[in-house]
Amino acid sequence: MSANIKAGPATPVGEGPGRRRDPGKCLPLDGEVELLARTLYGEARGETVRGKEAVACVIVNRVRRARERGGYWWGESLGQVCQKPWQFSCWNEGDPNLKKILAVTPENRVFQSCIRIARRAASGAIDDPTRGATHYHSKSVNPPWSRAKAPTAEIGNHLFYTNIE
């Protein structure tokens, strides 16, 4: 299965053969929201809602920065930013989360939360708790790009940064 998934037809939760429709859980997906939701599932599924929102804001901030600058190497859309090689480890070949993010379905409650957050982030409905961060990492690692930099926010198990180029 390729890590570069493409948006397919919307699949409302609770529909399909042998499934009972629950209108409260009907979550049709578009490609950008789906890629963002899968990235949140891979990067932050163990975090609180606020922690997932923070990771979503990093992705939105990268898109915003690209638009302000007339393009940027991260990509110019949510999907491009999410799948840029070596930016979000859950999309890296060989990462144990890759199989999980490709296999998760909208019936999964944590993924449902990721979908709701992705929709809100894509529509600009989340107040950014990261103060404009474009980078983050888990507290358990110390990547070279973060050394000698002060994080702008600490949310859940992640540190967030705005001053990385």
Q: What is the pLDDT of residues 11-56, one digit of tens each?
A: 332 333 333 333 333 345 679 999 999 999 999 999 999 999 999 9
- State percent of the chain over pLDDT 90: 73
Asked if pLDDT for residue 75 goes beyond 90, the answer is no
What pLDDT score was predicted for residue 12?
32
- The span from the CA of 41 to the CA of 75, in Å, is 20
pTM score above 0.85: no
The Cβ-side half-sphere exposure at 91, using a 13 Å CA radius, reads 19
Dihedral of CA 32/117/11/91: which sign?
positive
Rounded to an integer, the average pLDDT of 62-74 is: 86
Block residue for tokens 């999964």: 108
For the chain, the domains span 27-128
| 50 close to 161: Cβ distance less than 8 angstroms | no
CB atoms < 10 A from the CB of 63, how many?
Answer: 24
